[in-house]
Amino acid sequence: MDIKSKIRDIPDFPKEGILFRDITTLLKDKEAFNKVINKFVSFYKDEGVQKVVGIESRGFIFGAPLAHQLNAGFVPIRKPGKLPSDVYEAKYELEYGTDTLAIHQDAISPGEKVLIVDDLLATGGTMSAAVDLIKQLGGTIVGIAFLIELAVLKGREKLNGQNILSLITY
Amino acid sequence: MDIKSKIRDIPDFPKEGILFRDITTLLKDKEAFNKVINKFVSFYKDEGVQKVVGIESRGFIFGAPLAHQLNAGFVPIRKPGKLPSDVYEAKYELEYGTDTLAIHQDAISPGEKVLIVDDLLATGGTMSAAVDLIKQLGGTIVGIAFLIELAVLKGREKLNGQNILSLITY
């Protein structure tokens, strides 16, 4: 079964000229969702991952099952104002303006082996901010995993030096 | 190991007078997170669950591993404007004003057995709206699962007739 065929293309979402890759048609298909999680697990199972970090909110959908399967803890990176204890924040550029991500300061201990997970690699701005946060906490990033990579946007270049896995490429 | 002891209390978040139950200290603890998922799985494994519905965004953290473990599809219920295809929406009351949840119209087929998952049962407004959406799609709700129930707020009464499981009660 080809997992790429389970992605639904939605033209002009969220705005005109954007072709949105809708993963909900994959998620609701139990074989496809199972296959995606198992592919990630088989790739990382011998890496000694101690914390899986998922980026709000679609990163949670892949990060949480991976944490459970890899016998690791799960750490959410969230939008500002959502995490109740002391946080570090990182800003990143959008097409217009900036956005911010936050992580709890006690989420990761120095030297812990960290896998970061999100659904989509586009320009790489979001993941680059997440990498900065993990480094600030002293975590050792053993890998970065995406379901989808939009190769034409060259997000990989912004994540220079990281081990990147993407299961589906456009 | 007592999973309740892994919840961190944060006074006055998000505003004065609220005692916030912070689950991130449980999530990052691999034994505690593993135990929570396994408790849910053992409770629902013989129910023939076909779709696990998680409510954005902390519901994704428990719903997605459950879908994977129960060999079910995963369906996100999201804030308005996030789901790219045709949706149904349900409004619910907040302390001040209203909020809205959305689900894709093709997320669940009539008669499918559905488990709905969220992190917290407070007044029950959010989950009650989620129940309405699943019923609108013709799904059969076999259970509703929460990590935490704030019993004093009597959210259970708003979910009258549903099978409710909560692992931790305050």
* Predicted pLDDT of residue A32: 98
Name B137's Cβ contacts closer than 8 Å, sequence gap at least 6: B88, B103, B105, B107, B108, B109, B110
* Predicted pLDDT of residue A91: 96
Give dist(CA B15, CA B161) in Å, integer. 33
- The pLDDT tens digits for B121-146 are 999 999 999 999 999 999 999 999 99
Which residues of chain B lie closer than 8 angstroms to A73, CB-CB?
27-30, 33
**Residue-averaged pLDDT of chain B:** 97
* Predicted pLDDT of residue A119: 98
- Residue A10 in any domain: the answer is no
B14 touches A at CB < 8 Å: yes
CATH number at A130 reads 3.40.50.2020
- Residue B79 in any domain: the answer is yes
* Predicted pLDDT of residue A95: 76
- Residue B112 in any domain: the answer is yes
Per-residue pLDDT band at B95 (split at 50, 70, 90): confident
Residues of A marked active site are found at 58, 95
pLDDT exceeds 80 at position A62? yes
Q: What is the mean pLDDT of residues A134-151?
A: 98
Per-residue pLDDT band at B72 (split at 50, 70, 90): very high
Name A112's Cβ contacts closer than 8 Å, sequence gap at least 6: A50, A51, A138, A139, A140
- The pLDDT tens digits for A7-48 are 999 999 999 999 999 999 999 999 999 999 999 999 999 999
- Residue A34 in any domain: the answer is no
Structural domain containing residue B133: 39-169
Q: What is the mean pLDDT of residues A67-88?
A: 98
- Residue B60 in any domain: the answer is yes
Point out the residue among A10, A56, A71 whose CB comes nearest to the CB of B57: A56
- The pLDDT tens digits for B12-60 are 999 999 999 999 999 999 999 999 999 999 999 999 999 999 999 999 9
Give dist(CA A76, CA A78) in Å, integer. 6
Q: How far does the CA of residue B156 sit from the closest CA of chain A (Å)?
A: 25
Which residues of chain B lie closer than 8 angstroms to A74, CB-CB?
27-28, 33, 61
B85 touches A at CB < 8 Å: yes
Q: What is the mean pLDDT of residues A92-101?
A: 89
pLDDT exceeds 80 at position B106? yes
- Residue B19 in any domain: the answer is no
- Within the 118-137 window of chain A, which residues sit less than 8 Å (CB to CB) from chain B? none
Q: How many domains does chain A have?
A: 1
Which residues of chain A lie closer than 8 angstroms to B84, CB-CB?
10, 13-14, 20, 22
A109 touches B at CB < 8 Å: no
Residue B159 identity (one-letter amino acid): L
- The pLDDT tens digits for A99-141 are 999 999 999 999 999 999 999 999 999 999 999 999 999 999 9
CB contact under 8 A, B68 and A37: yes
- Residue A14 in any domain: the answer is no
Instruction: Using CB atoms within 10 Å of the CB of residue B156, give its burial: 0 to 12 exposed, 13 to 18 middle, 19+ buried.
Output: middle
Q: How far does the CA of residue B92 sit from the closest CA of chain A (Å)?
A: 21
- Residue B22 in any domain: the answer is no
Q: What is the mean pLDDT of residues B78-91?
A: 98
CB contact under 8 A, B84 and A22: yes
**Residue-averaged pLDDT of chain A:** 97
Which residues of chain A lie closer than 8 angstroms to B57, CB-CB?
56-57, 60, 78
